[in-house]
Amino acid sequence: MNLSYPITYINGISVQRATLLYTELGIKSCNDLLNFFPFRYIDKTAFYAIKELQPNTSEVQIVGKITSIKSVAQKRGSRLVATFQDATGTMELVWFKGHKWIKESLKPNESYVVYGKLNHYNGSFSIPHPEIELVTEYKQKLQSKMQPVYPSTEKLTNSGVSNKLMRTYIQNLLKQFFDGIQESLSQEIIDDFKLMHKRDAFLNVHFPKSQENLAKAEYRLKFEELFFIQLQLLRKKLINKTKIKGFIFENVSDNFNDFYNNHLPFDLTNAQKRVLKEIRKDVGSGAHMNRLLQGDVGSGKTIVALLTMLLAIDNGFQATIMAPTEILASQHYKAISEYLKNTKLKVDVLTGSVKIKKRREIHKNLENGTLHILIGTHALLEDKVQFQNLGVAIIDEQHRFGVAQRSKLWSKGGGSVLTIAKGTGIEVRNRYETAHPSVYKLMKELQKERKKQSAEAEKNLWEQLKTNKLEFKFRRQHIIDEFTVDFACISKPLLVEIDVEYDSTAEQQEADAIRIKILEEFGYKVIRFTSEEVLENIDNVIEKLAQELKNIPFKKAEVTSPPHILVMTATPIPRTLAMSVYGDLDISVIDELPPGRKEVKTVHRFDSNRLSVFKFMKDEIAKGRQVYIVYPLIQESETMDYKDLMDGYESVSREFPNPKYQISIVHGQMKPADKEFEMQRFVKGETQIMVATTVIEVGVNVPNASVMIIESSERFGLSQLHQLRGRVGRGADQSYCILLSSYKLSEEGKTRLKTMVETSDGFKIAEVDLKLRGPGNLMGTQQSGVLNLKIADIVKDTKILVNARNTAISVLQEDSNLSKPENANIRKTYLEVSKTSKIWSNIS
């Protein structure tokens, strides 16, 4: 019997029931049912006598007989009542639904075991809808002291699928398929961690004989679940590094060095230097970089991103940053343009509000390679946006983008010279090889000779080409099909060869001519220079190339490699979540704020303290500072939020009247141009107060703003509060964050506000947030499907997760393909799990 069989193979499950279980619980196969775990257990070790029952007793188990059954009329319909008796007294069993089939199934004067929640009314006890079974049947079943309770739905309950019936189905499953439960871990892992064997684990998680057995079974199944998630993530990471080739950024030259030495406005922190070193190692390795950069608000991720892009530009590539909002994209554009204002590099921004004429200009500059860095929003994903040679893509606040969006940017990679379809290459080569076998063989031998003898001239020409004098990027020693060419233009079908000096026999000349013919058939223009021309008159060579390039049209290159990926987040990710969701990425952390930054002082005040808060605002404004006042934005009620904002604006306007005070207002219903106008007024210091919704959560940088007031702060999540607080504290002055709330606070709300007051450490805040909200909510709807765990909990099971990950690392280090005999169980399960897992679809 195979666990992949549908659940209709289990005794007692009809096709109709199977359909219901699938639609309500997603249970389709026997394996699905086996992995449908109880969410709690009931201790059924005790049996009560009726005379021992107390009004405050909750759930009870009693042995007795049914002496009578009757229907009792009530206001709506009727109820079925059975008198239940043991040697000490009587009570009632009551059913409000399913009278007919229940009445038919009950057998008066037979001994029953009943279990249920006890009701006490007018001195009498009753159990509504009890679990009930004959003592003779009870003794035949798999009994455990702890009875499992399974998740259910109202539709299942109304259709007669009780918890008792679910237990019966799983019991029948274990009886029929117990031998089909195959071990999935190696004996070494089982021995190392003293794990319960898989069959015993499933038996004891559903029908535990003791609390100790249950604990061992849960540990085993949690370890296995987390182990195979980690194995998939780590293997994906291994494939990224070994199978997916990345562009090699071997040059660290003019752009990077000039900016670093002459234009960097501050010294990098040690954390920034460490992260930059990690990135440089990645992009110089020949493997594809897939790295997550975590850094708290204000830690300096943008400058690290810029230096990474300069590495790409130094190696003949373009770079891009994709941000989730226009505000953040504009902020990046302004910051990077300011950093690069004294360089020759061209930067532009593309968002949904950019006009058509400007878009066309951006598209043109992007395709011809004159635009080095493009910053934008989702607009970057449009088909019309074509990079000439994208070398690195940086995704900011990446959790706000879906997998499909990130993968579309990933597929915009370029940087390849024009290549040819495999079929075409094979067909052309076969034709020449068949017609001239000996010459074709000689041609292959001469290729090696060419490479040896053109070193000096080739080096001289490369020195000229890489300075971008021709305004086109070239590749050196590039492979076209199976031929190595000296130089290949990236964006136009132009190849440059330097002739070597050797005794040219007729056969050698013929071989050389065939090589050129093949390259021309592939669609390239081939220009040849002698070594003497290059060494004696390089300026003339460059001039000839410039003329040729003018006459050759652009032709879209076939993408051969994806761009390096750097994803950034200012929302610190707890270690357990990072290991689980981003386990396939390399992770860098900037855990050090720039020197001179003062910690933002955070206080919690109730609405009744509003007048003292207004006085504090006036004192700060009198010192020349500026203030944010932020109102919550909840999608379900934008109109209500807009009203809250406008009421707040009117209240603030009365307290801070014109002309002494100027107030900006920004919210999501404004036109982009109006929003930008108000933002700029505040940035320039023309207004002292900005009243806003959470549109200013990211992307606003006003060093002079020293006060952040968050209205109705209990309505915000922890990460959002932390992001908003990060809008202040960007200058040298002491900054403040005031959390205003009503007195009506939930326990969770109190915890959030207390956490904000006590710490500014983003990682500590993220850990609290994870405990409060769970991994699914913390990640957002775009990515939460990755952690659809059946039994493990990454918040509670941190130690098991660490053990599982370390074990997976150890297994792959010794056997990356899982091909060793001792890993046969692991490989089989890994292949089965990989077929259905969503993890493989994740790109960064």
Hey, what are 321's tokens? 């940053």
Q: List the alpha helices (DSSP H) in 582-735.
A: 610-622, 638-655, 672-683, 718-725
Q: What is the DSSP string of 57-75?
A: --EEEEEEEEEEEEEEE-S
Cβ-contact 564, 282 below 8 angstroms: yes
Instruction: Tell which residue, 254, 261, 305, 255, has the closest CA to residue 283.
Output: 305
Find the Cα–Cα–Cα–Cα dihedral 57, 60, 66, 68, rounded to 10°.
30
Phi and psi angles of residue 295, each rounded to the nearest 5 degrees, phi first: -165, 135
Q: What is the pLDDT of residue 654?
A: 92
The residue type at 610:
R
Instruction: Tell which residue, 158, 173, 79, has the closest CA to residue 126.
Output: 79
In angstroms, the CA 717 to CA 720 distance is 5
Cβ-contact 585, 239 below 8 angstroms: no
The residue type at 676:
E
Q: What is the pLDDT of residue 400?
A: 59
Instruction: Tell which residue, 740, 661, 678, 735, has the closest CA to residue 704.
Output: 735
Hey, what are 598's tokens? 């003062």
Q: What is the pLDDT of residue 555?
A: 59
CB-based burial of residue 35 (10 Å sphere; 0-12 exposed, 13-18 middle, 19+ buried)? middle
Residue matched to tokens 């590749």: 475
Cβ-contact 347, 375 below 8 angstroms: yes
Q: What is the pLDDT of residue 562?
A: 81
511's enclosing H/E stretch is helix 506-521
Q: What is the DSSP string of 383-407?
A: TT---SSEEEEEEETGGGS-HHHHH
Q: What is the pLDDT of residue 454?
A: 55
Q: What is the pLDDT of residue 624?
A: 93
Q: Note if the pTM is more than 0.75.
A: no
In angstroms, the CA 225 to CA 792 distance is 7
In angstroms, the CA 9 to CA 206 distance is 19
- Kindly list the averaged pLDDT for each block of 10 residues, start to end, along the chain of length 844: 89 94 94 94 83 83 93 86 94 88 89 90 90 86 77 90 92 92 95 95 92 93 93 82 79 88 89 94 88 83 94 91 87 91 93 90 88 92 84 80 60 54 55 66 64 70 79 75 77 82 68 80 86 87 88 61 85 68 77 79 93 94 94 58 75 92 87 84 92 71 90 88 86 90 90 92 81 58 55 83 92 91 93 68 40
Q: How far is CA 836 from CA 4, 501, 585, 830, in A?
A: 13, 60, 21, 11
> Which residues on neighbouring strands pair with residue 133, listed in sequence order?
113
Residue matched to tokens 């492979």: 479
Tell me the domains of the chain and their CATH numbers.
15-179 (2.40.50.140), 254-283+300-416+562-569 (3.40.50.300), 422-551 (3.40.960.10), 601-759 (3.40.50.300)
